[in-house]
Every structure is written in structure tokens, then in C-alpha cells.
Structure 1
Amino acid sequence: MAGDQDMFDAVVMADERFHGEGYREGYEEGSSLGMIEGRQHGTLHGAKIGSEIGCYQGFAFAWRGLLHSCATERDSKKMKVLEALIGMIQKFPYDDPTYDKLHEDLDRIRGKFKQLCSLLNVQPDFKISTEGSGLSF
């Protein structure tokens, strides 16, 4: 009779056992896929931010060269804003993905870039696409 009771318990408890095993397997697979998708997402967005910052930096360095070669008293405000933008870019935490003010700093850089473009009277068109990024005028 004890053998019949054990078999009966095994059948009755099979649903609970299979539910628990399925949950554990699903959790492990979901965790693994979540890490893979998280890395892909982070890599993609990190590359976009890096490309954007790189374009701003190249723009700023080019204009610094142009303004230094023919600097006038009138260009002093432009140079001040330009140097502030370069300083912000150089302080940007490229290698710290846990930096909690990353988006705030990025917004400040974007704002300073727009201010500089306004002072220089240029209309930038920054685009990020699958083929690469670019800054055109």
C-alpha cells in the first residue's frame, strides 16, 4: 500500500514539480538572453553617443583652428563658448556606463554646441544612420 501511495503522490505532485522546473529553466534562459540583449542595446546606444560626441569634438577642433588663425576682438565670445564646449567634451565620462548624470551632461554638450553654431551662424545637420554618422552644413 505504501508503494501505491508514493506513486499516487508522484502523479499528484507532478504538476507542481513540472511547474517549478519550467520556471527555473525559463528564468535561466531569460536571464541569459536578457544579458545578451542588454549588451547589444548598450553597445548600439554607446556607439551612437560616441559618434555624436566625436562629431561635436571634430567640429570644435576645426573651428578652433579657424578662429585662432584669424582671431579678432569680435571672436572672443565665440572662442569662449568654443573652449567651454571642448572642455565639456574632454570631461565627458566615456568609460563609465554607470555615471548617473550621463544624459544631463550630454544635453549640456548639445546645448553648448547649438549655442556655438548660433554664434558662428552655421546650420548643422547631425545624422546617425546604419552607414555611419555625419555632420553636414
Structure 2
Amino acid sequence: MDPKSNNLNDFLEESVLLDESQYQQGFEDGYKDGLVSGKEEGRDVGLSAGFQVGEELGFYQGCIHVWNSVMQIDPDAFTSRVRKNIAQLKTLVDGFPFMEPENENVQELMENIRLKFRVVCANLRVRLEYEGQFSTLSKDAEDM
């Protein structure tokens, strides 16, 4: 065997091994960084989404409190149908699984709450809707 070709093979093999080890090291570093940044981003997204859900549920809870206060002052202010729908809305809002972040029914529950809220508003013949903090802020900025 020619000693020059053996040296060339050794050189190429070392280059390939060096390339593979650098690739593997880069992959491991990137994976570790991705875990850290993924957790941070996930926490930020979760905090934002949780705040928005809480804000919306707070809006509905506030409306329920106002309507219940009206009923305490004047029990005949609303029809029995409206009172029943308000009670159902309260049950839905009170039953929201705040402490179960991985509950798969959260979207369906929110849709049921929104639907029941629209039913109450339609029965009361009022136009109320939750607009959210961000859309309210953008409307205020346009007015200025």
C-alpha cells in the first residue's frame, strides 16, 4: 500500500470525524438553548392567554353582578326566561376550570359562555359585547 494514500485517508477520516463532532456539539447546544427559550416563550404566551381569558370572564361576571343587583332591587325587572338565562350564565362562569390549564374543553366552555351571554343580551334587548383590553386601547388611540 502506498504510504501517501494512507496519510490522505487518515486526513479525510479525521476531517469527517471533526465535522461530525462539531455538528453534534452544535446540535446539543442548540437543543439546550431551545429548551430554555421554549419554556420562556411558553410561559409568556400562557400568561398572556390566561390574562385575556380572565379579563373576558371578569367582564361576564361583572354583567351578572349588575343584573343580579337589579333583580334584588326589583324582582320583577326581568322575565323568568331572562332570570333563568342569567342563572345559567352564572353557573357556566362559576364552573370555568381556572385551575386546570390542560383541560381540553376550555375553548368549548368559553364558546358556551359567549353564546349564553348573547342570549341574555338578546332577551334584554341590549347591545353589550366584550371587546377586550387590546381592541379598547386601539379604539381609544384612534379617538385621540
> Scaled by the length of structure 2, what TM-score is found?
0.81
CA–CA distance in structure 2, aligned partners of residues 53 and 90 of structure 1 = 9
The Cα of 1:129 is off from its aligned counterpart by: 2.6
Contact 1:78 1:119 in 2 (8 A): yes
Name the residue aligned to 1:60: 64
CA–CA distance in structure 2, aligned partners of residues 131 and 91 of structure 1 = 27
Instruction: Give the letter aligned to residue 122 of structure 1.
Output: V
**Match runs of 1:1-137 below 5 Å:** 8=11, 9-72=13-76, 75-130=79-134
- Shift in alpha-carbon separation, 1:132–1:23, aligned structure 2, 3 A: same
- Shift in alpha-carbon separation, 1:73–1:58, aligned structure 2, 3 A: closer
Contact 2:71 2:78 in 1 (8 A): no
> Scaled by the length of structure 1, what TM-score is found?
0.85
The Cα of 1:130 is off from its aligned counterpart by: 4.5
- In our comparison, the structure showing a higher alpha carbon Rg is 2
Structure 1 portions without partners, runs of 5+: none
Instruction: Give the letter aligned to residue 102 of structure 1.
Output: V
Larger strand proportion, structure 1 or 2?
1
SS in 2 for 1:18: helix
User: How many residues were matched structurally?
Assistant: 131
Instruction: Give the letter aligned to residue 92 of structure 1.
Output: F
Structure 2 portions without partners, runs of 5+: 138-144
